[in-house]
Amino acid sequence: MTAVITGAAGGIGLALAEALHARGEQLLLTDIDDTALAEVAARLGATAVPADVADPGAMAALAERAPEARLVCLNAGILGQSLGAPWEVPAEDWDRVFAVNVAGVVNGLRAFVPRLLAAGEPARVLITASLAGLAVFPGGGAYGPAKHAVTALATHAAMALADTPVRVTMLCPALVATGISAEGVPPSEVAAEALRAMDEGRFTVTPPEWHGAVVRQAGQRVAGEVPGVPGPVLD
């Protein structure tokens, strides 16, 4: 079986690649950073296919390279250059963040899911969203809105695939120590929990200490209240 990982040259994608390599999986890795990708692939004995997930043709070509894929990790994502309020974010930043974070997932689903369904075998799709796709935080530019779209895509996909052998898991971590954030939990912990969730058939993976904040903010919206800034509940 082959596992495909987008955004595999660093962060969560790299951690997923390392964890799956340790499980003995064959890997097909892609990233827009071809130099870093080549180094990772060489170290893990993986196949490297540099690609921009925002390009539908590139994702279709990637799927053609992995006919045996039964695990597809749609992980690639970017933060964006501007982290201000919506009206402060330049148009080009909105376009690029949505092209990678949202269209990248759509392109991956379009390229791989029909092939997974045609195979008629158990398969998994892991979609990396974010806690910022479940709760709204002040600032963050286009990243949060894009990740909210990703959580909707993942939920829609899971519903559409409910009666098939293909299962979807949505990864919604809080801060992770990656290229996007200097602070946070190690990517290896996030990857391990994501694989555990897939093994157990869980849909959403997000830190327990944030569950209450997500529910409270949703309740505020339903009640018509002005939303407050969410925060974790720590032991």
Domain ranges (residues) in the chain: 2-209
At residue 224, the pLDDT reads 96
| Residue where the block lists tokens 């555990």 | 196
- Where are the alpha helices (H) located in 3-73, listed in sequence order? 11-22, 34-44, 56-64
Lowest mean pLDDT among 133-137, 206-210, 222-226, 231-235: 231-235
Distance of alpha carbon 157 from alpha carbon 31, whole angstroms: 23
- Average pLDDT of the chain is 95
For the residues 66-84, what does the mean pLDDT come to? 96
What distance, in Å, lies between the first and last C-alpha atoms of the chain?
41
At residue 1, the pLDDT reads 77
Residues in the chain: 235
Going by pLDDT thresholds of 50, 70 and 90, the confidence category of residue 123 is very high
The set of catalytic residues is: 143
Distance of alpha carbon 208 from alpha carbon 84, whole angstroms: 28
At residue 35, the pLDDT reads 97
Rounded to 10 degrees, the C-alpha dihedral 108/109/111/117 comes to 140
For the residues 8-27, what does the mean pLDDT come to? 97
At residue 234, the pLDDT reads 73
Domain 2-209 annotated CATH 3.30.910.20: no
- Where are the alpha helices (H) located in 45-179, listed in sequence order? 56-64, 91-101, 103-119, 143-160
Whether the pLDDT of residue 46 is over 80: the answer is: yes
Whether the pLDDT of residue 17 is over 90: the answer is: yes
